[in-house]
Structure 1
Amino acid sequence: MNKTVNIVGGGMAGSEAAWQAANAGLNVVIHEMRPKVGTFAHRTGDLGEMVCSNSFRSDDSEQNAVGLLHWEMRAAGGLIMAMADKHRLPAGGALAVDRDPFAASVTQALMSHPNITVEPSEITSLPADGHWIIATGPLTSGALGAAIRAETGEEALAFFDAIAPIVHFDSIDLSKAWMQSRYDKGETEEERTAYLNCPMDKATYNAFIDALLAADTTEFHEGETAGYFDGCLPIEVMAERGRETLRHGPMKPVGLTNPHQPDVKPHAVVQLRRDNKLGTLYNLVGFQTKMKYGAQTSVLRMIPGLEDARFARLGGIHRNTFLKSPVLLDDQMRLKSRSNIRFAGQITGVEGYVESAAMGLLAARLAIGELTDTPLPPVPPTTAMGALVSHITGGADAKTFQPMNVNFGLFPPVDGLKGGRRGRKDRYKAYTDRAKADWTAWLATQAAVPA
């Protein structure tokens, strides 16, 4: 049997899949079109490049589903989590990453692996033979997207995703802004001051909302409809849902005290998170936007402390594609009409860096089992990994299928636990305890993948 796995795409999912397969002794060829063929969102040809936020979100593996997913990936010898830990930045209870060194380390690890070859090429059709994992992400090339649509007979679904701006730290007015993590969360002083906060009083907030609603935004092409993923809504779309929406979302003023005016409670707060280890760049948390560049600079400079802000990157909007996975993929993540092809990452309908990498890890493990004639037992749906793959390969309603972050709503209930807010902490702990035991047992059924 051919023991080579071809992986299309060198993002989070493709990089993780390559690492898992190569460490299991398989030959791996990564087909990555960058930098030969670029995208509007990528800046480099590095593998594992982060194009949106630099956050892997909560790292709490006892009370948070994505933190549990971190734990499962670490237990499976995941490359993405190892490099994220290596290049971690202070971010309170979140796992934020210094994006450029992170991608460089992922690239170095894969390029230096004796079982991995990187081919700088664009795959434009679905291969008829061999073993393939397509992990092209939400920015799948037009040619390959057309080939997928032609093969499946199903129109690949689409939604629009937005990117948040990044600001040069030395252009922020610290006489107005201050450093503090919400509720002073963190074990060290650095973690407790991981976020930069810009306060707004009521009048400033209302003027900001007015300007936001009046700003010029990116127009869609005729026939396109903007179906946004709720976890990455542009701020203009949130503002359109009601003037108070942002105050109860990314601009909520809770858990923060302005040292410049300790007796004055801010009406709203804009938070910025460190984007690199040097601390020279900060991104606006939750400020994905579809405003045109000129409008962005004028509207965002209305934020106290950012009046003279210099932007290292302005926000933008792009079209993302994903499969109708519940009807197109089997429980092994294979395309039902072509069993030699697996899909992984955001193109399957998961959302987020961690979820994408997790589906790359899982697709590779399933491929390893197939190519070594050691089929794996089903991934327990009680685990974060299993809950996600169960959702995308049949658990979700195909008619309303949309990109999904991992969350405890995807997990089977734990018997005997009461609901409600009071019981939530115990319930989440029960979910994670059960998941860790079941994931550990599932990993024990297969050969170890060395770190």
Structure 2
Amino acid sequence: MSELKRVTVIGAGLAGSEAAWQIASQGVPVTLYEMRPATKTPAHHTNNFAELVCSNSLRANGLTNAVGVLKEEMRRMNSLILDCADRNAVPAGGALAVDRDGFSGDVTRMLKEHPLIDVRTEEVKEIPKDGIVVIATGPLTAPELSAQIQQLLGQEYFYFYDAAAPIVEKDSIDMSKVYLASRYDKGEAAYLNCPMTEEEFDRFYDALITAETAALKEFEKEQYFEGCMPIEVMASRGKQTVLFGPMKPVGLMNPHTGKLPHAVVQLRQDNAAGTLYNLVGFQTHLKWGEQKRVLSLIPGLENAEFVRYGVMHRNTFINSPKLLQPTYQTLIRDTLFFAGQMTGVEGYVESAASGLIAGLNAGRLARGLEPLVLPADTTLGSMAQYITTADFKHFQPMNANFGLFPPLEKRMRSKKDKNDAIANRALSQLARFKAEQLGYPAEPEAAEPEPVSD
């Protein structure tokens, strides 16, 4: 048997790490480039692969949510990222949150120990002209490579800002003022809740909207993706925006008073030891001194010790509807793939999922096989279809959601039944795809909810 072609993966974030693993799992040798720590970025704090630079939550874990279905699909496709996430999970109610250092450490170790993966710590400044290449350099692509990508693709990047939330030490939280609960008592009580009266909220809100933000560098105009919008930008839209957003009190009855608070700030466990908590939905670009001043107005955080203040950085993404195939290959060169957030998928899990498909197909190409398009009624396939068929004039990043799926043939009694049916169909279609295209044994199909009778 002739030696298989070596594949180059540029970037060891969530997408690049997953892509390299999927390629090597097919017996194909990989050269994985990661510029850190030789070249730093303004958002990363460690030298590990797949570092989570925003929240430590991978969002919903159940099949009632599209991203939960996506996780299950990835598990069934032998995802490295989901394997490491499940092993490093921390309590988070119905969500999958991880000990961020344990998680990224596991990903790094498994990639470095794989006999077919050659890890190189250096910055790639030019796109290799020959061979199969996966570019997964993420929203913080280094300037020289970014210019190369722009030149190759013949168009400008879109861009938006992304912001990370502060993290506090649990021991510095005044536990007499907070309470442990999950919204509507769903799942285990995994969040610390800081309740506010209307007077406390008004004082906090006024301080927040008048606080000074850090200076931005070389940014032309502000574009935020709604899923990671700075709290001060959200607040600038009015009180109701935050009261119906990250500070909504519904489903979080205060056991100290027996009443529903006017507003709530939720804290989520950030590491396995339970010593660190992040402020849920409080991504911010306020100056660090201002963060300390404003966030100390939150009941329970008056004397909080911040182990990391919020930071903000630029995210860039390509115009995928004009540039990519649903296999994550570029239209201009079949041997060049893109993966991760720069393709316009939004979110940790979605980024890793795009790396899974790009890696699957790059490995197949190296083996002399045709790349595969996953069924559109799987979450993996629905995202690939969306980013390659959306209106290129108004293309924006997209999370996994049930709205991306083709409609069901039958009308269901309720939204829950509809989502259950979509989830069951997705997993059945993935099983069929694996059996027919990848040679996996056939799996029994799940029963769908009963449709509405005519």
> TM-score interval w.r.t. the shorter chain?
over 0.9
Match for residue 18 of structure 1?
20
* Equivalent of residue 274 in structure 2, options 258, 272, 279: 279
Match for residue 356 of structure 1?
351
Letter in 1 for 2:97: A
Q: Post-superposition, which runs of at least 4 consecutive aligned residues in structure 1 deviate over 3 A? A: 219-223
After TM superposition, give the deviation of residue 255 of structure 1 in Å. Answer: 1.3
Match for residue 425 of structure 1?
416
* Equivalent of residue 332 in structure 1, options 324, 327, 342: 327
Q: Is the 8 A contact 1:12 1:353 kept in 2?
A: yes
* Equivalent of residue 413 in structure 1, options 391, 407, 423: 407
Match for residue 435 of structure 1?
426
Letter in 2 for 1:31: Y
Instruction: State which drifts further: 216-225 or 194-203.
Output: 216-225
Output aligned runs, 1:42-81, within 5 Å. Answer: 42-61=44-63, 63-81=64-82
Q: Is the 8 A contact 2:4 2:367 kept in 1?
A: no
Match for residue 159 of structure 2?
158
Q: Is the 8 A contact 1:376 1:446 kept in 2?
A: no
After TM superposition, give the deviation of residue 294 of structure 1 in Å. Answer: 1.1
After TM superposition, give the deviation of residue 223 of structure 1 in Å. Answer: 6.3
After TM superposition, give the deviation of residue 41 of structure 1 in Å. Answer: 1.1
CA distance in 2, matches of 1:358, 1:35: 25
After TM superposition, give the deviation of residue 247 of structure 1 in Å. Answer: 1.0
* Equivalent of residue 255 in structure 1, options 246, 251, 260: 251
**Distance of aligned partners of 1:353 and 1:222 in 2 relative to their CA distance in 1, 3 Å threshold:** closer
Letter in 2 for 1:201: T
After TM superposition, give the deviation of residue 125 of structure 1 in Å. Answer: 1.3
> What's the TM-score, normalizing by structure 2?
0.94
Q: Is the 8 A contact 2:9 2:133 kept in 1?
A: yes
CA distance in 2, matches of 1:127, 1:43: 28
Q: Is the 8 A contact 2:31 2:120 kept in 1?
A: yes
CA distance in 2, matches of 1:415, 1:241: 40
CA distance in 2, matches of 1:194, 1:295: 28
Match for residue 83 of structure 1?
84
User: Percentage identity across aligned positions?
Assistant: 52
Match for residue 232 of structure 1?
228
> What's the TM-score, normalizing by structure 1?
0.95
Match for residue 210 of structure 1?
206
Match for residue 295 of structure 2?
300
Q: Is the 8 A contact 2:85 2:98 kept in 1?
A: yes
Letter in 2 for 1:66: V
After TM superposition, give the deviation of residue 312 of structure 1 in Å. Answer: 0.6
CA RMSD of aligned residues (A): 1.5
CA distance in 2, matches of 1:145, 1:412: 35
Letter in 1 for 2:278: N
After TM superposition, give the deviation of residue 336 of structure 1 in Å. Answer: 2.2
CA distance in 2, matches of 1:100, 1:250: 25
**Distance of aligned partners of 1:141 and 1:278 in 2 relative to their CA distance in 1, 3 Å threshold:** same
SS of residue paired to 1:270: strand
Match for residue 189 of structure 1?
none
Letter in 2 for 1:274: Q
Letter in 2 for 1:412: P
Per-residue CA distance 1:181-223 (angstroms, 9 max, x = gap)? 112222xxxxx22100000000111111111110101344576
Asked if 1:446 corresponds to 2:438, the answer is yes
Give unmatched runs, 5+ long, in structure 1.
187-191
Match for residue 135 of structure 1?
136
SS of residue paired to 1:3: coil
CA distance in 1, matches of 2:218, 2:126: 27
CA distance in 1, matches of 2:395, 2:42: 26
Q: Is the 8 A contact 1:2 1:130 kept in 2?
A: no
Per-residue CA distance 1:427-451 (angstroms, 9 max, x = gap)? 10111111101111112211569xx
Match for residue 199 of structure 1?
195
CA distance in 2, matches of 1:106, 1:223: 32
CA distance in 2, matches of 1:35, 1:58: 32
CA distance in 2, matches of 1:309, 1:109: 36
Q: Is the 8 A contact 2:34 2:122 kept in 1?
A: yes
After TM superposition, give the deviation of residue 338 of structure 1 in Å. Answer: 2.8
Instruction: State which drifts further: 333-342 or 12-21.
Output: 333-342
CA distance in 2, matches of 1:374, 1:84: 30
Letter in 2 for 1:198: C
Q: Is the 8 A contact 1:335 1:341 kept in 2?
A: yes
Match for residue 401 of structure 1?
395
After TM superposition, give the deviation of residue 257 of structure 1 in Å. Answer: 2.2
After TM superposition, give the deviation of residue 243 of structure 1 in Å. Answer: 1.1
Letter in 2 for 1:440: A
CA distance in 2, matches of 1:245, 1:122: 41
After TM superposition, give the deviation of residue 290 of structure 1 in Å. Answer: 1.4
After TM superposition, give the deviation of residue 374 of structure 1 in Å. Answer: 2.4
Match for residue 120 of structure 2?
119
SS of residue paired to 2:325: coil
SS of residue paired to 2:37: coil
Match for residue 100 of structure 2?
99
* Equivalent of residue 379 in structure 2, options 384, 407, 421: 384
CA distance in 1, matches of 2:349, 2:194: 29
SS of residue paired to 1:244: helix
Match for residue 38 of structure 1?
40
CA distance in 1, matches of 2:117, 2:87: 22
**Distance of aligned partners of 1:131 and 1:447 in 2 relative to their CA distance in 1, 3 Å threshold:** farther
Give unmatched runs, 5+ long, in structure 2.
442-454
